[in-house]
Structure 1
Amino acid sequence: MSRVMTCGEATIRLLTKYGVNTVFGIPGVHTLDFCRALDKEVRHIQARNEQGAGFMAEGWARATGEPGVAVVISGPGVTNVSTALGQAYADSLPVLVLSAETASNTIGKGWGVLHEITEQKKVTEPLTAFSATAHCAQDVPELLARAFTLFASQRPRPVHLSIPIDVQAEMVEEEWEPVALPKRPSAGASEIAKAAKLLKDAASPLIMVGGGACGASAELTIIAERVGAIVIASTAGKGIVDDDHPLSLSASTARPQVLKLLSEAGVILAVGTELSETDSFIERMDFKGQLIRVDIDSKKINDFYPADLGIIGDAKSVMAKLQAALDDFTSDGREAAEIRVAEVRGQIRAGLSVAEQQHTAVLETLSSAAPENIVWSGDACQLVYTGAFMLPVHAPRHWFYPAGYCALGNALPNAIGAKLAQPDIPIAVIAGDGGFMFTMPELITAAELQLALPIIIWENGGLKQIQDDMDARQISRVGVEGINPDFVMLAKACHCHSADTANLDELQSAFQVALKADRPTVIVVHQARS
């Protein structure tokens, strides 16, 4: 016989039946009924700000592809977590934010009750696949079924569910059960045959992969080898084909040497990618060949880059069928493609600016000391911009750099979420000095959890990219040169190890020690000022 419990407690219990074992957040007076089940039914991780909690849930989703969950209060909890929702939306990540809301009879009234937003769901509607309010306890299992169905079978964008405090307190007598989740769609035989023929007949085929193709790493590598295709990744697709593979140009779309390749391709196979301008940083890429687009989102097939052949389906399923259709085929163009990749890699290295050469020296030092399976959690900073094409990554979901929404401050909390999801995989943070300060309090969260996280802070005197942009446009610098804290003393105050490095040898040594430490280590790296 099921136990009578509050709706808040029943909600957390139902999450566990959908496979959730960890949630991130900060308890408040409006989430007390959720708290009845926290650390009984699931592990609760206390963040220091709801934005950090959202970024931790996002990091969990980035690392695993499974839903990351944040539980927050109404009002300011929702507005704080909204930045992480926007980023998860931009990068197609399954994040669930479960929040409180003011009592049902106050919604929309503007009475000035605690944590009031007159209609909370409207705040997050543009940032989510859907945002909904439960008006009674029985709405909750229906809304959670809708959310997890979306995560399992559609483009996995975030969801926000608000449960008013009076609904949380309702008593639930029956045991809520999860629904059976549908599978993602796949392609028909005729579509696969057309795609295979285009690739077999193509001169200089090219494959472009995005985050939606993370599950198809093995299949895409084999397809590239069979048809002799050069592979270019978005930042979200970096590592799907190993960056060290002789056909891979990593996430280098923004480099002029790589943009030139696009117009040389006879056929472009774009899998799980928006072909976004935040990867190329030009208004429109110059595709002259035929474009095959494979995407689970039907809206992407004929948007800014209309497809000559559009296939709606799950990347792994579609690529498995395409691989099978190419079983009897081996292109004679692979050797030429590998030579072309080697040439372009050389051109990219030769074209590095002085600052990018400094970045590369740091990145190569880190890479030489890192385990092959390391996950790099990057913030928006110049060291990470260069790392997109100069730091080798060997598997999907091992490079976090949200280039689309491009919020600052995600790197550290993303890494916390990822490390908790995959405790046996080494994870390192790369953040700029300015971006690190956005979510700096989560350093205490990482220390409290005793996570072995090397945290590389690229100290270049403020918001360097915006400084450079202002200088290039002859705008006097304003608001981009604020002072930094003493990062070594800050680390100590937050119960972390630290190292202020003066050269690459010191960096390598500190990084190696940090990977095995009993808590986070803040490693400060100063940009050369010559």
Structure 2
Amino acid sequence: MSREGISTGVYLTHLLRAYGVEVVFGIPGVHTVELYRGLAGSGVRHVTPRHEQGAGFMADGYARASGKPGVCFIITGPGMTNITTAMGQAHADSVPMLVISTVNAHGRMGSGEGWLHELPNQQGLVAGVSAFSRTVNRPEELAGVLAQAFAVFNGARPRPVHIELPINVMLADAGHLPLPQPMLVARPAPSPDALEDALDLLTHAARPVILAGGGALRADVGALAELLDAPLVMTTNARGLVEPDHPLAVPFSPSLPAVRRLVQESDVVLALGTEFGPTDYDMYEDGGFELPGKLIRVDLDPVQMARGLAPVLALVADCAEAVQALLKRRPVAHGRNGALRAGVARVAAEEGLEDNYRRDLRLLNLVRDTLPTARLVGDSTQLTYAGNMGFAAATPGSWFNSATGFGTLGYGLPAAIGAKLADERPVVAISGDGGLQFTLAELASAAEAQVPVILLLHDNSGYGEIKSYMIAKNIPPLGVDIYTPDLAAIAKASGWTVHRVTKLADLPDRLREGADAPGPTMLIFGDDLRAQA
């Protein structure tokens, strides 16, 4: 591809293609149109959301489903303030996201004179929700800054990166610049000495347990659990590491008493890619999660090792590398009753759940069993909360949502759109009517992009979970019974196929129809359907 006489904005497109970028999410504006000059005919697909927050959520879902960073083109000022919520969710869940924005030209940047879209300090705005934010002051800097971004995505704890181009730099000539070969970054492997120490602890353990988080999604954790005969406890972002009926699987939250007992009775705990976040381990904030046994932690982030529970042994490494190294050393397990211990924990955890959670889990299981290859992408809504308590996903990466950690609303639909753009697997978004209204306009984005997602919409005319919480706390439920427009009519007007499902027996057929449809499908249900599960 010729680069003679091209601008830095067009040069950026060439660089992105060199890094294998296939999709960009963005809304063109007067400050970003030069970024779009090179997109036509480049092979990079552009998807237009209706709000920059939607762009960020789409990029998040795309990244989780594809394993590649989600890329966004964002305008100066309001575009950046709009996307920071999505960046916060991605930062909390270690999701790779590349946010490329413009900024006012040198001499106008941060002047306080009121230039179009001017912010005092865009870098300061995104500092807390990004691995780094960098201003490209000369065309010659762009390739190096982009290489640093992909070094974070590929070799460190992945998080959002923000790169801003002053308008004068974006328009500057870059035809003289070469197209560098993307740098290959190998993720770190654990040190041999640390591996031997871990092997010794695991070999001599009588009751080992594995705690797996989202950082272990691409590791062969199931094989290691079998070799160690160790129950495998999966946090929200690790569900699906083993099949739902695996004898060692414990797909229940470690906030539950039964799972906590399993951990407390263990003598060695191997924690893989989990930050021990409170919304996974102490959802009810009772301080009841205890780990008296010896803790081995494996994490890409050395700083994270010093947060939360202190390990006796810390392996700074990629989880997939560490697990593979342990499998090669084949620690020997004898008489650890792993399947029995896991089974006792599973039964007790399910029995300890509230009736409404067990009912919602049966509903989620029906969705999973009807569409076994589907990804289920949840908003912060009641069905998702139940799933985080104990849903057994079918495959790694087939259950993720915004209901832990940062806990945004409006995530489900746009994240599902992004996930569906990653491959051909069915995608089911799970949302409530309240959360959907945060990003309701993205219904049109899905239809425009011809993305056949399925939206499983729980319509209870308000913020049901918060209402229940207020009542439990003896607080008058004010502000939670909201006016809900005719969502079915809005969806139909936006190009969706809509069905209201009132009988549980009809749900499988509707799901299969949605999975085979050429466009998006909304399945609306109420508490009457939940009661049938």
Q: If the TM-score is normalised by the length of the shorter chain, which range does it land in?
A: over 0.9
- The alpha-carbon deviation at position 225 of structure 1 amounts to 0.8
Q: Which residue pairs with 1:210 in the alignment? A: 213
In the alignment, structure 1 residue 319 sits paired with structure 2 residue 323: yes
Identity, % of aligned positions = 36
Q: Which residue pairs with 2:427 in the alignment? A: 427
In the alignment, structure 1 residue 265 sits paired with structure 2 residue 269: no
In structure 2, list runs of 5 or more residues that go unmatched.
none
In structure 1, list runs of 5 or more residues that go unmatched.
none
- Which has the higher mean CA deviation after the structures are superposed, 266-275 or 37-46? 37-46
289, 292, 300: which one pairs with 1:288?
A: 292
8 Å contact from structure 1 (residues 244, 394) kept in 2: no
8 Å contact from structure 2 (residues 252, 259) kept in 1: no
Q: Which residue pairs with 1:513 in the alignment? A: 513
- Which has the higher mean CA deviation after the structures are superposed, 248-257 or 269-278? 248-257
C-alpha offsets along residues 120-171 of structure 1, whole Å, 9 cap, x if unaligned?
1111011000011111212211211111111111111110111111111001
Q: Distance in 2 between matches of 1:145 and 1:514?
A: 40
Q: Distance in 1 between matches of 2:363 and 2:67?
A: 30
3-state SS, counterpart of residue 414 of structure 1: helix
Runs of 4+ in 1 over 6 A off after TM superposition: none
C-alpha offsets along residues 355-404 of structure 1, whole Å, 9 cap, x if unaligned?
2233134223322311x221111111110111124433122111112311
Q: Distance in 2 between matches of 1:295 and 1:144?
A: 25
Q: Which residue pairs with 1:468 in the alignment? A: 468
Q: Which residue pairs with 2:191 in the alignment? A: 188
CA RMSD of aligned residues (A): 1.6
C-alpha offsets along residues 33-56 of structure 1, whole Å, 9 cap, x if unaligned?
101012322211111111111111
Q: Distance in 2 between matches of 1:222 and 1:197?
A: 18
In the alignment, structure 1 residue 90 sits paired with structure 2 residue 92: yes
Q: Distance in 2 between matches of 1:483 and 1:362?
A: 27
3-state SS, counterpart of residue 367 of structure 2: helix
300, 303, 306: which one pairs with 2:307?
A: 303
* Paired amino acid for 2:99: V
3-state SS, counterpart of residue 97 of structure 1: strand
* Paired amino acid for 1:276: G
8 Å contact from structure 2 (residues 305, 314) kept in 1: yes
Q: Distance in 1 between matches of 2:11 and 2:18?
A: 11
Q: Which residue pairs with 1:353 in the alignment? A: 354
Q: Distance in 2 between matches of 1:454 and 1:271?
A: 32
Q: Which residue pairs with 2:407 in the alignment? A: 406
In the alignment, structure 1 residue 489 sits paired with structure 2 residue 489: yes
* Paired amino acid for 1:525: F
3-state SS, counterpart of residue 199 of structure 1: helix
Q: How does 1:436-455 map to 2 (within 5 A)?
A: 436-455=436-455
8 Å contact from structure 2 (residues 252, 391) kept in 1: no
Q: Distance in 1 between matches of 2:15 and 2:518?
A: 34
Q: Which residue pairs with 2:108 in the alignment? A: 106
Give the alignment's TM-score, normalised by structure 1.
0.96
- The alpha-carbon deviation at position 284 of structure 1 amounts to 5.8
* Paired amino acid for 2:74: V
8 Å contact from structure 1 (residues 249, 389) kept in 2: no
8 Å contact from structure 1 (residues 14, 178) kept in 2: no
C-alpha offsets along residues 330-360 of structure 1, whole Å, 9 cap, x if unaligned?
4322xx2212222222223323323223313
Q: Distance in 1 between matches of 2:334 and 2:429?
A: 40
- The alpha-carbon deviation at position 519 of structure 1 amounts to 0.8
3-state SS, counterpart of residue 106 of structure 1: coil
- The alpha-carbon deviation at position 251 of structure 1 amounts to 4.2
